[in-house]
Structure 1
Amino acid sequence: MASNVTNKTDPRSLNSRVFIGNLNTLVVKKSDVEAIFAKYGKIVGCSVHKGFAFVQYVNERNARAAVAGEDGRMIAGQVLDINLAAEPKVNRGKAGVKRSAAEMYGGTTMTGTSINQFRPG
């Protein structure tokens, strides 16, 4: 079994650390995570937290292979969100595009009428 430590402070190991998001940790345990990710290379550390986990490999090549092979996989009823810890994904939102509140509620409505026309002056 791998160590519980995944070294987030060592710059040399940063690219060999994999973030596993949207993990159903009520069902999936550390041993399960290790079993799933061991096929990509030697795991030197694995830490499981509420809803997510980190796996530390010996090198970046193993980590990148794990991201490519497991991102989007469904485990315990949830689709995993996996990436290198050093390269977080940009928030995609549900439709794949993240919009600010100003974009959603500011400016004009769908008919082109300014929202400000409806505000008491």
Structure 2
Amino acid sequence: MASNITNKTDPQSMNSRVFIGNLNTLVVKKSDVEAIFSKYGKIVGCSVHKGFAFVQYVNERNVGAAVAGEDGRMIAGQVLHINLAAEPKVNRGKAGMKRSAAEMYGSSFDLDYDFQRDYYDRMYSYPARVPPPP
């Protein structure tokens, strides 16, 4: 059985850690994670948290094989998202920060709400569009 600790502060061990996301931890236990990932190499640490886990190998060569072999695998009704723990996740926003319309919609055009409101008023103001009766 591997340790509960994965060393996230040691720069040399960063490349030997695997992040396992979208893990159904209500069903999948630490022993299950160890059994699945031990076929790729010797595990020195495994920590399971709510919805995700980390596995640390002795050798960083094992990480690539584990990522390639297990990413996208369905376990307990959920598809796993597996990557090198040291890799930054792309498009990960900071919690609590508002995103601009450009970030949300992939455009450099910021929405002008006054313009949209005026346009809506002009398009749907029925009394102004209908001529008075003769």
TM-score w.r.t. length of structure 2? 0.69
Q: CA deviation at 1:16?
A: 0.2
Q: Percent of aligned positions with the same letter in both sequences?
A: 92
Identify if the C-alpha distance between structure 1 residues 91 and 77 changes in structure 2 by more than 3 Å, giving closer, same or farther. Answer: farther
Residue 95 of structure 1: how far off its partner (Å): 21
Residue 104 (structure 1) shift: 4.8
Gaps of 5+ in 2: 107-134
In the alignment, the residues of structure 1 paired with residue 2 and residue 103 of structure 2 have an alpha-carbon distance, to the nearest angstrom, of 46
The farther-off stretch of 49-58 and 84-93 is: 84-93
Displacement, 1:33? 0.2
CA distance change for structure 1 residues 11 and 104 in 2, over 3 Å: closer, same or farther? Answer: closer
Q: How many residues align?
A: 106
CA distance in 2, matches of 1:86, 1:50: 20
Which deviates further from its counterpart, 86-95 or 29-38? 86-95
2: CA distance, partners of 1:91 / 1:76: 27
Pairing of 1:17-56 with structure 2 (within 5 A): 17-56=17-56
1:78 aligns with 2:48: no
Deviation per CA, 1:33-88: give whole Å up to 9, x if none. 00000000000000000000000000110011101110010100000000000113
Shift in alpha-carbon separation, 1:96–1:77, aligned structure 2, 3 A: farther
Unaligned runs of 5+ in 1: 107-121
Change in 2 beyond 3 A, CA 1:95/1:12:
closer
Change (3 A) 1:6 1:78: same
Higher helix share: 2
Q: Cα 1:35–1:95, aligned 2, differ >3 Å: closer, same or farther?
A: same
Please identify runs of 4+ aligned residues in structure 1 that moved more than 4 A: 92-100, 103-106
CA distance in 1, matches of 2:93, 2:6: 28
| Structure showing greater Rg | 2
CA distance in 1, matches of 2:73, 2:18: 15
Residue 26 to residue 60, structure 1, CA distance change in 2 (3 Å):
same
Q: Residue in 2 aligned with 1:11?
A: 11
Task: Output one character per residue of 1:71-115: Cα deviation in whole Å (capped at 9) or x when no partner.
Answer: 010100000000000113324999999996335569xxxxxxxxx
